[in-house]
Amino acid sequence: MKGGKRAHLKLEQLPDETLTGPVEDYLKTIYEIGRGTVSVATNEIAQRLNIAPASVSGMVRRLADQGLLGYERYRGVTLTEAGRRAALRTIRRHRIIESYLSQALEYPWDRVHDEAERLEHAASDELVDRMAAAIGEPVVDPHGAPIPSREGQVDETVYLTLDQLGTGYGARVVQVSDDDPEMLRYLAELEIVPGAEVVIVSRAPYEGPISIRLSGHLLAIGPALAAQVMVEPLTDMDAPAH
């Protein structure tokens, strides 16, 4: 009885233990809040999933019993290794489906999220792999979010957001948040899309507007919107003349 490793392996690696849609959503959300490491508040899970906090307590306890979460009452939750793998599998599906809808079926980028949100729970691995192959194994989704590999590897770089950038700095947009269709339509209209290069022209104090230059135009956006735009600062060498 010493050691305690046993034949757990068999049981815990069983990949046929199919997760329900809601369970996949919990795991995905927990990963997205805590990047897979940090302890996550149950209230925040509730808020993101749009359900009552009380509902989260119950579910979170069951997921902990199943070995998908670490959980201590009143202390938040963390993903176990199994939970992290499951979360990344769902996120991979979601982002490949988004990419496929966008590239193969000409879905507008503000509508891919909702569709993927439902399909991610129904699509088989085979389908997701075929979709990925059909559009050339994309590495980011239409909003710039990195697609985890089949093995669960994913780029976890934490980017600055546009509102954190000082006046005069240039940056390239790498990713925008994907779940608000109206915001996405507005961003597209302003041409604030992954790959775009921007320069901070000025920043008004007290939550005031941020003026940026983007391919010639000047435009002003609020800091709340700017906070949804992730950027990579340009080095002087990369920087456009200004």
Partner DNA sequence: CGGGAAAGTTAGGAATGCCTAATATTAATT
Partner DNA sequence: AATTAATATTAGGCATTCCTAACTTTCCCG
Q: Do the Cβ atoms of 97 and 141 come closer than 8 Å?
A: no
Q: Do the Cβ atoms of 192 and 229 come closer than 8 Å?
A: yes
Type of residue numbered 181: P
Q: Residue 22 interacts with DNA (CB under 7 A)? A: yes
Distance CA 15, CA 124 (A): 13
Q: Residue 41 interacts with DNA (CB under 7 A)? A: yes
- DSSP 8-state class, residue 173: E
Stretch that binds its own copies, among 45-53, 123-131, 150-158, 219-227 (CB under 8 A): 123-131
Binding residues with DNA: total (CB under 7 A) = 28
- Which CB sits closer to its own copies, 106 or 207? 106
Q: Residue 16 interacts with its own copies (CB under 8 A)? A: no
Interaction with its own copies in 131-160: which residues (CB under 8 A)? Answer: 131, 134
Q: Residue 121 interacts with DNA (CB under 7 A)? A: no
Distance CA 122, CA 187 (A): 30
Distance CA 113, CA 128 (A): 16
- Name the 3-class secondary structure at 195: coil
Q: Residue 122 interacts with its own copies (CB under 8 A)? A: yes
Minimum distance of DNA from residue 230's CB (angstroms): 25
Structure tokens at 159: 């980017």
Interaction with its own copies in 218-237: which residues (CB under 8 A)? Answer: none
Minimum distance of DNA from residue 20's CB (angstroms): 3
Q: Residue 118 interacts with its own copies (CB under 8 A)? A: yes
Distance CA 76, CA 172 (A): 35
Interacting residues toward DNA by CB under 7 A: 20-23, 25, 41-44, 49-62, 71, 73-76
